[in-house]
Amino acid sequence: MLLEGKTVIVTGGSRGIGRAVAVGCAKQGANVVVSHHSHADEVLADIDKIGGKAVAVQSDIADPATGTLLVNAAVKHFGSVDVLVSNAGICPFHSFLDMPVDVLKRTMEVNLHGAFYVTQAAANRMKDQGRGGAIIAVSSISALVGGEMQTHYTPTKAGVHSLMQSCAIALGKYGIRCNSVLPGTILTDINKDDLADADKLAYMQNRIPLGRLGEPEDLAGPVVFLASDMARYVTGAALLVDGGLFVNLQ
Ligand code: NAD
Ligand code: RM4
């Protein structure tokens, strides 16, 4: 029970990685606030089934007001904010030379600006509570490598990792730790269409030393670790969770 009594906000917690992280935190005794853009019934049922406590808040993470909304929900239902997992994100795969301005702007606003607003809101609450906290951004292997159809997306993933590095400095004096996880290729809705291409799927699978694409549950352990006191001296760090994909150049 590494997170017993702690309140964890997970943005984008209704699906994919966020859902697995929300359930993983609940299994470790956390109360969970799930932020989402669409329906959250499944994750609430998952957490209920294991006897955990969770509430869902529907709101667009790109809206600067959403951070405060989530913090207020956490305080109202569970009395505090101890951990933030900034996970909500989109990746509308698109070629570079004809990238529509609205696709670029939306990707930046959801992935990077959204992460900033919610981090700021959670950090202010943690500071006022006076007992520290942990913030984990779901960045990506894409913070380190490029993608032909991801020229709008990879800068946001480098950006959220950079945000955690700067926040680790800005918030260290309050005992608030800020770290990133860098998932490799994890099978979720975000890449369903991209990986429907059999050649691309085989290429990705063959590049991964551990021999398989990731599952959302692969992220739960690393996030719980960074959220917990087991990682009490870890801040400003980035943890690759990619089955070895990044190091497999030749
Ligand atoms: P997903 O599509 O399964 O889940 C995305 C979640 O974000 C959903 O809960 C959705 O409701 C939420 N969301 C999307 N737009 C939102 C908005 N405007 N406001 C609030 N919530 C919003 O995708 P996923 O793969 O689980 O992605 C989660 C995070 O992991 C993203 O930040 C993504 O960049 C990152 N990531 C994914 C992979 C991968 O291979 N799947 C790899 C590296 C990083
Ligand atoms: C990740 C990484 C994955 C891709 C997802 C959408 O950051 O690039 O390979 O499938 O984004």
Q: Is 200 a catalytic residue?
A: no
Q: Measured between alpha carbons, how far is residue 90 from residues 62, 104, 105, 106 in Å?
A: 11, 11, 12, 9
Cβ neighbours around 68 below 10 Å, total: 16
Domain made up of 7-248: CATH architecture:
3-Layer(aba) Sandwich (3.40)
Q: How confident is the model at residue 250 (pLDDT cuts 50, 70, 90)?
A: confident
Q: Is 203 a catalytic residue?
A: no
36 lines ligand 1 (CB under 6 A): yes
123 lines ligand 1 (CB under 6 A): no
10 lines ligand 2 (CB under 6 A): no
Q: Is 157 a catalytic residue?
A: yes
What's the 129 CA to ligand 1 centre distance in angstroms? 29
Ligand 2, atom 8, residue with closest C-alpha: 142
pLDDT digits 0-9 by tens, 142-181: 999 999 999 999 999 999 999 999 999 999 999 999 999 9
Per-residue pLDDT at 40 exceeds 90: no
142 lines ligand 2 (CB under 6 A): yes
Q: Could you give the strand order of the β-sheet that contains 83-86, starting from the edge strand earlier in sequence?
A: 53-58, 31-36, 7-11, 83-86, 133-138, 176-183, 238-241
Instruction: Write down the catalytic residue from 35, 86, 139, 140.
Output: 140
**CA atoms within 13 Å, Cβ hemisphere of 33:** 31
What residue ranges do the domains of the chain occupy? 7-248
pLDDT digits 0-9 by tens, 95-149: 999 999 999 999 999 999 999 999 999 999 999 999 999 999 999 999 999 999 9
